[in-house]
Structure 1
Amino acid sequence: MIDQNAYAETARNAVNRVLDAERSVIEEAGGLIFAALRAGGVLQAFGTGHSRSVALELVGRAGGLVAANQLGIRDVAYYGDASPRDILDPKIEREPGLALRIWELADIRPEDVFVIISNSGGNASIVEMARLARTRGHRVIAITSRAHTAELSVDERLADLADVVIDNGAPYGDAALPLPDGGAICPVSNLTGVLIAQLLVAEVAGRFLAAGQAPPVFRSANTPGGDAYNDRLLEGYGSRVRLGDA
């Protein structure tokens, strides 16, 4: 019998580890994002698998940064010529060359900053996206599990290519509660990943306020005037910020 409280305690400990151990790193990452946005850049968020939900947390939501765009595997079907069937295979994230296809379908500018999320940090598309960004002069922020990535037998990891690495505190394999047969249940990475994403937003907003500027964040579309307010903030970004599928 597994006690539900065991995961609650594990989750609480993981959150506390992020708050205690990663605070200064999150501040550093927030500074990179703030500098990029003030220079007219966009935050480009990328994750595959379940890490997509952390990328989505940064894009197109009430209280979130306006200048944020989600890159995703679905882009090769949404904006490219791939069939939707082509992207249904969960192993597609390991396909060499996929990140470049996604990159070429986006309007990425020199001022943009990248936040790339991957618990393992070793899948081909994740590493390739980080390498593309790094070699083309963009700053790269990684949200990953140091415990998992340290166990990978690969030539290059997301953490190796990032300017700033934020540890999500997840264990090797992500799932935190062991089962008698050697398996495990109850992942941690998305829980702490969402927390990290919102701590980054708070850090960036605080820096805008300290600079005497109103933070460029969305208002809820379900409040009076929300749509009109958001549309004004989006003017000038065009296809750089794609919200239709967010």
Structure 2
Amino acid sequence: MSHAATFLGETTTRLERIAALAEGGGLDPAIALLADSIAAGGIVHVFGTGHSEAFAMEVAGRAGGLIPTNKIALRDLVLRGGEDRSLLGSSLLERDPQIAEKLWALVPAQPKDVIVIASNSGVNGSIVGFALQAKEHGYPVIAVTSLEHTAAVEPKHPSGKRLSEIADVVIDNLAPYGDSTMEVAGNGCGAVSSLTAAFIAQLLTIGTIEKLAEGGEPPVYISANVPGGHERNQKLEDVYGDRLIRGS
């Protein structure tokens, strides 16, 4: 079997399991939190570090996605928080539990908002710290993580907690320990967490749009690259004013 066929199998079997989970209502608790928040005028704030930032990009600020969404990133500490850009030079930043409070202070969270956090390992200091900040301030947390990986590693936050132990709703991205689904020339490769997380992000978005449509017109982006798209999107964004973060 070719490498392409092997990786296709590793990917599609996981996507099929996630689709079956959705069909069986397994994503409904998360969708209900998201839809209820948006229907009440709330905003969905999505945080991920490293490759998990791709999950946040799938949810926030893209065509076919929900307008009341914000992508939270570590670089916000520099772009909006006044920290020196040298802060971003460390590969250990996402493991630093001390920055969570500073990052949380930049989130324009208001009552009825929801926090979504994606992390494959679910143990790094910034991720766990951010989740704890959200809970401390009274916000529901949805987590997308690898339950296999997180159970196999030690938490890096002083609390000793994992993201999966803090969140109100936990969605397993089905990535294996180490995120490698195959081995080539003695090297683990074929990382799958970004693919499964993107699929989960889209299923959550689709489910939320469907639920919101029961009560009216959902606030959904269309492509800014179609005639009138930018103007239409801008009009809907204006409803939320400066509560939306764009450009980071």
The range that moved more, 77-86 or 225-234, is 77-86
- CA separation in 2, counterparts of 1:119 and 1:43? 20
In the alignment, which residue of structure 2 is the partner of 1:188? 192
- Separation in 2 of the partners of 1:236 and 1:215? 13
Counterpart in the other structure of 2:46: 45
TM-fit CA distance, 1:118: 0.2
The question of 1:201 aligning with 2:213 is answered no
Distance 2:206 2:3 in 1: 34
Listed as ranges, the gaps of 5+ residues in structure 2 are: none
Q: 1:160 aligns with which of 155, 158, 165?
A: 165
5 Å-filtered alignment, 1:1-246, equals: 3-23=3-23, 24-154=25-155, 155-179=160-184, 181=186, 183-211=187-215, 213-245=216-248
8 Å CA contact 1:49, 1:90 repeated in 2: no
Change (3 A) 1:12 1:204: same
Return closer, same or farther for 1:168/1:22 CA change in 2, 3 Å cut-off: farther
Deviation readout 1:77-123 (Å, 9 max, x if unpaired): 10122222211322100112212111112211121101100000000
Matched pairs, number: 243
Quote the Cα distance in structure 2 between the aligned partners of 1:226 and 1:4. 37
SS at match of 2:26: helix
Q: Structure 2 CA distance, aligned partners of 1:7 and 1:199?
A: 22
Note the C-alpha offset of 1:25: 2.7
- Residue pair 1:29, 1:200 contacting (<8 A) in 2 also: yes
> Which amino acid letter does the alignment assign opposite residue 204 of structure 1?
T
Letter in 2 for 1:159: S
Q: Specify the SS of the correspondent of 2:181.
A: strand
- Aligned residue identity for 2:38: L
Rounded to whole Å, the distance in 2 between the matches of 1:2 and 1:196 is 27
Q: CA deviation at 1:243?
A: 1.6
Please report the TM-score for the alignment, with normalisation by the length of structure 1.
0.94
Cα distance in structure 1, aligned partners of 2:166 and 2:82: 30
Please give the TM-score of this superposition, normalised by the length of structure 2.
Answer: 0.94
TM-superposition CA deviations, 1:122-157 (whole Å, max 9, x none): 000100111111121111100000100111223200
- Output the amino acid matched with 1:241: L
Gaps of 5+ in 1: none
Can you list the C-alpha shifts for 1:157-183, whole angstroms capped at 9, x where unaligned?
0000111111001000111112454x4
Shift of 1:5: 1.2
Asked if the contact 2:21/2:27 (under 8 Å) is kept, the reply is: no
Cα deviation per residue 1:12-41 (whole Å; 9 max; x = unaligned)?
111111112355231210110001111111
Q: AA paired with 1:87? A: L
Instruction: State the distance in 1 between where 2:106 and 2:142 align.
Output: 21
SS where residue 144 of structure 2 aligns? strand
Residues 43-84 of structure 1: CA distance to partner in whole angstroms, max 9, x if unpaired? 000000100011111111111000000111010110122222
Rounded Cα–Cα distance in structure 2 between residues aligned with 1:241 and 1:25: 29
**What secondary structure is seen at the aligned counterpart in 1 of 2:62?**
coil
The root-mean-square deviation of aligned C-alpha atoms, in Å, is: 1.5
Checking the alignment, whether the CA contact within 8 Å between 1:54 and 1:190 is kept in structure 2 is: yes
- Rounded to whole Å, the distance in 2 between the matches of 1:153 and 1:79 is 32
